[in-house]
Amino acid sequence: MKYQAPRGTQDLLPEDAPRWRYVEQMFRQTCADFGYEEVRTPVFESTDLFVRAVGEHTDIVSKEMYSVSAHGSEADERRERLTLRPEGTAPALRAYLQHNLGAKSPLTRLFYVAPNFRHERPQSGRLRQHHQTGIEALGSEDPALDAEVITLGLTYLRRVGITGARLEVNSVGCPECRPVYRERLRAALESRIGTMCENCRRRYDTNPLRILDCKAEDWSVLEAVVPDLADCLCEPCAQHFAHVQAVLQVLDVPYERNPRLVRGLDYYVRTSFEIVHPQLGAQSTVLGGGRYDGLMEELGGPPTPGIGFGCGIERVLLACEALEVAFPLEAVRPVFVVTLGEAARLPGLRLLNDLRQAGIAAQADYLGRSMKAQMRAANRVGARTVLLLGENELAAGAIAVKDMETGAQESCPLSDVVGRMRGRKDEG
Ligand SMILES: [Zn+2]
Ligand SMILES: [Zn+2]
């Protein structure tokens, strides 16, 4: 085969599409129930937006972005460089600022369904284009909003059919208290960092909190060595976290505190959460999010607290597969028009089009095949009813209506058949 989909990407084929549509529909429905409205932003943005929001020293910005120059190969100024979106929060916030959504309503609730692009190593099973559902709630630091965002995520996954998931929460503090923790963590690890993995040795200087979620370390030993973030939170952060937990309790949402739960990106503050499924092994995180109160200012906007989550559609589908979730997918059962002989061909096409115009799913054979082959095709597409049009029927101004389930066949005036099919459709 000469052409293949690029490495790390995959095609969505007709046989897969109904499951994707189902998952997306559950997400959209849940967002609507919680009052979140859709935002669609471009697939690419100014490179600088992501450098600013995500951080220059992150893996995403330093290694994983797909950037292009808007003017060809010249080394243009950075503001003229464009990047395929590696994550969804920065574009949503950019749109919020550009269109001054905060002026329309002090609390803005947004959701999106969009692809993300990262230059990952495909051998690790990661996709270079993956699809994300996400929400952002902007304009309030009320801990109840954190609980709302978390509840929306849980509701969505439950509606998809993922049961037995576990909610893990943590607080990663704020620019006031996190530096204190960072120094305590460095001090605690000082004598050990030399024996830790390469990533951790680098993170020790740049972003020691990320050491906490390193999968390469032996946490059965390290757990006792590292200090707990909770002991370092400033009073406002501690109170905020306590309130988030109190609201979750009122809403009967079970959770566990995971003291090593930190989000991958620097802009997160305070509430951090993940929904994990214990049966999914190494890829157990299905959904993750957190609060990013300083990000809007970082992007040049007014102080606007925010919280959100992202959730990969591929990850949700993998989880559903692993958990053997059966989707209640409804198959379209078309009417199939079978014609016999040349004379019936054009009236058959006319009937096919009339059915479709009336909103009735209808198909026909375009290969000029025998009646037997046409009937087989009708079976293959799951037709519930076959309309047979031959010379005899034409002469009588009628059509034979065959019920594919019972095998019963009756004659119907050609002029009535669309109405009759519509009636059957309404019966379901
Ligand atoms: Zn704090
Ligand atoms: Zn490590």
- Tell how far the Cα of 175 is from the centroid of ligand 1, in angstroms: 6
**Homologous superfamily (CATH) for 335-427:** Anticodon-binding domain (3.40.50.800)
Give me the pLDDT at residue 221, please: 86
Give me the pLDDT at residue 55, please: 84
- Tell how far the Cα of 329 is from the centroid of ligand 1, in angstroms: 47
9: confidence class by pLDDT, cuts 50, 70, 90 = very high
- Tell how far the Cα of 144 is from the centroid of ligand 1, in angstroms: 18
- Which part of the chain is CATH 3.40.50.800? 335-427
Give me the pLDDT at residue 56, please: 81
Is the predicted pLDDT of residue 124 greater than 70, yes or no?
no
- Tell how far the Cα of 179 is from the centroid of ligand 1, in angstroms: 10
Is the predicted pLDDT of residue 377 greater than 70, yes or no?
yes
170: confidence class by pLDDT, cuts 50, 70, 90 = very high
- Tell how far the Cα of 238 is from the centroid of ligand 1, in angstroms: 7
- Which part of the chain is CATH 3.30.930.10? 17-177+233-322
Mean pLDDT for all residues in the chain:
92
- Tell how far the Cα of 239 is from the centroid of ligand 1, in angstroms: 10
Secondary structure string (H, E, C) spanning the chain: CCCCCCCCCCCCCCCCHHHHHHHHHHHHHHHHHCCCEECCCCCEEEHHHHHHHHCCCCHHHHHHCCEEECCCCCCCCHHHEEEECCCCHHHHHHHHHHCCHHHHCCCEEEEEEEEEECCCCHHHCCCCEEEEEEEEEECCCCHHHHHHHHHHHHHHHHHHCCCCCEEEEEECCCCCCHHHHHHHHHHHHCCCHHHCCHHHHHHHHHCHHHHHHCCCCCHHHHCCCCCCHHHCCCHHHHHHHHHHHHHHHHCCCCCEECCCCCCCCCCCEEEEEEEECHHHHHHCEEEEEEECCCHHHHCCCCCCCEEEEEEEHHHHHHHHHHCCCCCCCCCCCCEEEEECCHHHHHHHHHHHHHHHHCCCCEEECCCCCCHHHHHHHHHHCCCCEEEEECHHHHHHCEEEEEECCCCCEEEEEHHHHHHHHHHHHHHC
pTM across the whole model: 0.90
390: confidence class by pLDDT, cuts 50, 70, 90 = very high
Is the predicted pLDDT of residue 266 greater than 80, yes or no?
no
378: confidence class by pLDDT, cuts 50, 70, 90 = very high
- Tell how far the Cα of 63 is from the centroid of ligand 1, in angstroms: 31
Give me the pLDDT at residue 282, please: 73
* Span 17-177+233-322 CATH architecture: 2-Layer Sandwich (3.30)
